[in-house]
Chain A
């Protein structure tokens, strides 16, 4: 009995003096709806741990690569056990991420990769399927025939990959035509302008694909204003909450959406904590956290929309 109490006492002492886990989270500042969502979800995930005295978080947001490098340097100087980072740009952020990894900081790279394999875990959305499924849906909805307008985001490699995938999907249908492909810079106002102009140019437009839901809002407004918000297939993406709500409510114009979830940052934060606590993923036969995770692009329809509707989120 006495022996047991001693062991218990020792265990309690060891447990209460257990090293506190310190996690640095470095993400870009909000510059459009989706990044705003990522900031919100980072805060949300951190809040989940607020009653856990053994984890501490430092969240920083950067407006440009050099600022983010400085922030990560500061985090490393402060001393962190894990770094969860969505690099503002791949190339400039690579050295500092590699440095963190070499120092033994558990490094989780989120979405935008780095130009090195020296990290612990990489988690990202699936840009290819994001574009491909949208193309496939539009092709099937139009029964393989019609005029499509593509309003893409800010021209960049992610955007290129999505657009290429979209074109791959519709290339199976020779009677589908992309009559215009213009950038909407992931902004409502810009997409509105572009759509307004395209509506003047083309008397018949059968489908519009926008790179994300912010721009879909602009397109909706332009269609409504021109009185052409009928008999048209609209697809956005990334599940902005108001668009998901429209799907949920059975809006005749928007039947589907595809995930590219900003809450991957929350998953990444959990992965970092799990790794430091030596937990493994349920259902995996392997110990330890996987090194590369590409999240599935999930299809949101009227039936399952409520599972993707987060009214408190900013995105």
Chain B
């Protein structure tokens, strides 16, 4: 049991050694930092999605939601001017909106009895089209020094997004493994009927997992938009939902609910990050990159499954 839990770490290390042998530059500390940094945006979202998936749901809206929340954050800062207070207000509003959206999707899914696949697929289309409409298909930019300095900040020599990613993972781990809410999330996903008989408010627990997902997206949106100082209404966040779900699944989260861990997702996301970095480092031919990525993902999950049997 324990070995299969840590197998994912071994897979990660194996991938890194392999890449390091093929391209020594891969193991430069700077590059390892970059991988952590580049992974953090999808990684944070993947942690949120882990909650949703363990509770038996799915969230396809995260990529478009990231574009929407990021552009809202940028627009607020642009309206209020380059002040600390406007950055704080922008944060509050972005997180507020994320909670509201998460709650809305959660209620539609649980009380409205619409499959999560449908509500979040709808959300995906709605959020993207709202951003496109407001930005006219273009880019939201900000010149605010206060805001953009956040995403590029280094603390103790480490990029801020990486620190947030790690701290966020630890907090999420505590929430999922050490609190009653966390236990309910597992219970709801593993056996809904049993959970109901145990007097767990199944609908509310599920709804809150979407709020967790929303908060994760908001965190990622703020980090990404402040680093790039721009959000493209058409391309920012595209494909993030697939990467986040892939990270969770590589990390051992079950698509049918009841199983998964923040620990696994954290390393699953890093494996994806290492693959992306490796493709560039090894200068893998452009048209073959998809295949290499797909093979490694499938192999990683296969290895873990074989181990469990």
In whole Å, how far is A290's beta carbon from the nearest beta carbon of chain B? Answer: 29
Say yes or no: B232 contacts A183, CB within 8 Å: no
- Residues of A within 8 A of B (CB-CB), count: 39
- Residues of B within 8 A of A (CB-CB), count: 37
A-B contact count (CB 8 A): 107
What 0/1 pattern do residues 218 to 243 of B give for CB contact below 8 A with A? Answer: 00000010011010111110100000
Q: Which residues of the partner chain A approach B31 to less than 8 Å between Cβ atoms?
A: 197, 200-201
Say yes or no: A36 contacts B281, CB within 8 Å: no
Q: Which residues of the partner chain B approach A218 to less than 8 Å between Cβ atoms?
A: 228
In whole Å, how far is B17's beta carbon from the nearest beta carbon of chain A? Answer: 17
What 0/1 pattern do residues 189 to 214 of A give for CB contact below 8 A with B? Answer: 10011101110111000000000001
Say yes or no: A201 contacts B23, CB within 8 Å: yes
Q: Does A166 contact B (CB under 8 A)?
A: no
Q: Which 8 A-B pairs have the closest CB atoms?
A: A314-B138, A36-B137, A30-B137, A201-B25, A30-B234, A200-B31, A197-B280, A187-B235
Residues of A within 8 A of B (CB): 29-33, 35-37, 39-40, 152, 155, 180-183, 185-189, 192-194, 196-198, 200-202, 214, 217-218, 221, 225, 242, 313-315
Residues of B within 8 A of A (CB): 23, 25-26, 28, 30-31, 34, 37-38, 41, 132, 135-139, 141, 152, 224, 227-228, 230, 232-236, 238, 276-277, 279-281, 283, 286-287, 289
A-B contact pairs, 25 of them (CB 8 A): A29-B137, A32-B232, A35-B234, A36-B137, A155-B286, A181-B286, A187-B238, A188-B228, A188-B232, A189-B41, A189-B224, A189-B235, A193-B38, A196-B38, A197-B280, A197-B281, A200-B25, A200-B30, A201-B25, A201-B26, A201-B280, A217-B228, A314-B135, A314-B139, A315-B138
Give 13 A-B pairs besides A35-B234, A221-B228 with Cβ atoms closer than 8 angstroms: A29-B132, A30-B138, A36-B233, A39-B137, A182-B279, A187-B232, A189-B224, A193-B280, A197-B34, A200-B30, A201-B280, A314-B137, A314-B138
